[in-house]
Structure 1
Amino acid sequence: MEEQNSLGVISTTVMSYNIQHGVGMDGQLNLQRIAAVILDSGVCIVGLQEVDRFFSDRSDYKDQAKEIASLTGYHYVYGANLDFGQVGGLAENSQYGNAIVSKYPILRSDNILLRSFGEEQRGMLHAVVDLDGIHVNVYNTHLGLDARSRLAQVEEIIDLVSRSNQPSILMGDFNTEPESPEFQRLLESGLFVNSFQDMENVYTFPSTSPTELIDYILISPGIKHQNQHVVQTEASDHLPIVVDLVFR
């Protein structure tokens, strides 16, 4: 959804989605199905986690971000957190990370590697999106599996986001519940509001009979949000979450 009225108020719809390299609960690799979830939801900006780029035969050595962007007709940027170099004689590096796809132009982007303490390397992909004249910071991340890593990563994210005065969206798979110290630290920073705050039945994992809430869309306090919901689909092991945002 995209709307603009005569008062300069712009509304758009945002999604966060861990796509498990395009493999659904049926064990089938299907990026067309992922793209259909995006298009059917009417979203204009999407943060994707667990995205392969020439990774292995599990994803047919495809550039998944590019393919999803092609299927949706959107712009995209990719951030590799794992890079294994040229594997098996391939011309391209085998990579794994996050992507942002956007109906709006992406003005610039960078990928920031976060402290991971010897565990799987984590990162945050940052894109500046031109929302019909409003420049919005879009941050997409997939945090670590242990609390020590997540706490350190959250502090880095707070430091990075605090450097800009532009409106910001922070989304992703945080691998932690809302009551955790690391998630509460994000809210206590004053930089973010949880767009799904106090909502019930918004569990996101696993996609069949979900029992955990670990996927989030956080926004700058000045951004209005509405119509928050979880999309029911088994195209991945996570459920995507969607929210309408209003910018002035």
Structure 2
Amino acid sequence: MVLNRLQSTQLPTASARTESDVALLRVATYNIHKGVRGIGPRKRLEIHNLGLGVEALDADVVFLQEVRLFHTREARKFDRSKFGWPEQGQAHFLAPEGYDVAYRTNAVTRHGEHGNALLSRWPIGDVGHFDVSDHRFEQRGLLHVPVQWGGMTVHAVVAHFGLIHASRVRQVQKLAEFLEANVPANEPLVVAGDFNDWAEKLDPPMWGIGLQRARSEGARVHCPTFPSLAPVFALDRFYLRGLRCRSTFVPRGTAWARMSDHLPLVAELEAA
């Protein structure tokens, strides 16, 4: 059972929180693939295992993509499975006890919908949503959530960019417009999610709007997260303003590879 193998996943040796970690904000970004894996008769429900995975990350703030509020066809299919389709939306189902939850829909389909979510150990403010769809074949959005941490407001933006590079560049400009209108320039900001930037071309446009990509101190390369079975591409990222990255890591192991086609990326941040 995957549920039992989570104990053997590879997490960093410093993953247990200590008193010295109070000044660090641990964040995680994770594309959960709508809580299912496989196709046809081999399709399986992973949302219950994902709940254990999210809790195991012990992150203060979790940025989630491809999250469902409902899907009538898959709910009927998996109601016959051992654990069943959750009655709650996936964001609330995945949230560890005591976490605040924010969710907004990006894409509406025939049988349901999906969007971005944010789970926060710390109190959150008013939730915002901004459509950054570039064409009618891809419905994309930004989820904006102010988080109260360490006596300051950290602005968290969950993003899931398009599959075409030109679309992603235009979405960076839409992101810039949104930030200028909604996020004070003197308050810290984390933009995180699945950027679908296979060719590693998105960093310069993001630098151009004042966002730096998070990387562990001294690291020469970024952490690959896709595909989860043998990760090669660093599609999942944090872009920062007013914060510094102390460390990043990607959990590894058969359980994580099974739960989604992406692995989660985790970072520990501090005030700049």
TM-score (norm: length of structure 1): 0.85
Give the secondary structure class of the aligned counterpart of 2:126.
strand
Tell me how far 1:2 sits from its aligned partner: 7.0
Q: Which amino acid aligns with 2:44?
A: Q
- Aligned equivalents of 1:103, 1:2: Cα separation in 2: 14
**Aligned alpha-carbon RMSD (Å):** 2.4
Aligned residues: 234
Gaps in structure 1 of 5+ consecutive residues: 88-93
TM superposition shift of 1:158: 1.6
1:200 to 2:221 alignment: yes
**Alpha-carbon deviations, 1:2-53, whole Å to 9, x = none?**
7888xxx832100000000112578431323212222212211010000011
Identify which of 182, 196, 200 aligns with 1:179: 200
1:90 aligns with none
Residue 14 of structure 1 corresponds to 27
Within 5 Å, give how 1:46-65 maps onto structure 2.
Answer: 46-58=62-74, 60=85, 62-65=88-91
Pairing partner for 1:39 from 51, 55, 80: 55
1:1-248 equivalent positions in 2, closer than 5 A: 10-24=23-37, 27-58=43-74, 60=85, 62-69=88-95, 71-84=96-109, 94-163=112-181, 164-165=184-185, 166-177=187-198, 179-180=200-201, 182-189=202-209, 191-196=210-215, 198-200=219-221, 202-220=223-241, 222-232=242-252, 233-234=256-257, 235-247=259-271
Contact 1:176/1:183 (<8 A) preserved: no
Identity rate of aligned residues, in percent? 27
Shift of 1:200: 3.1
Q: Any idea what the Cα deviations from partners look like across 1:152-206, whole Å, max 9, x if unmatched?
A: 11101122223422110000000013631x43201232x2111127543621111
> Which digits, 9 at most, give the CA deviation of each residue in 1:197-228, with x for residues without a partner?
754362111100112111101111x3121121
Q: Name the TM-score, length of structure 2 as normaliser.
A: 0.78
Higher share in strand = 1
Q: Which has the higher helix share?
A: 2
Gaps of 5+ in 2: 1-15, 76-84
Partners of 1:199 and 1:242 in 2: CA distance: 17
Specify the SS of the correspondent of 2:197. coil
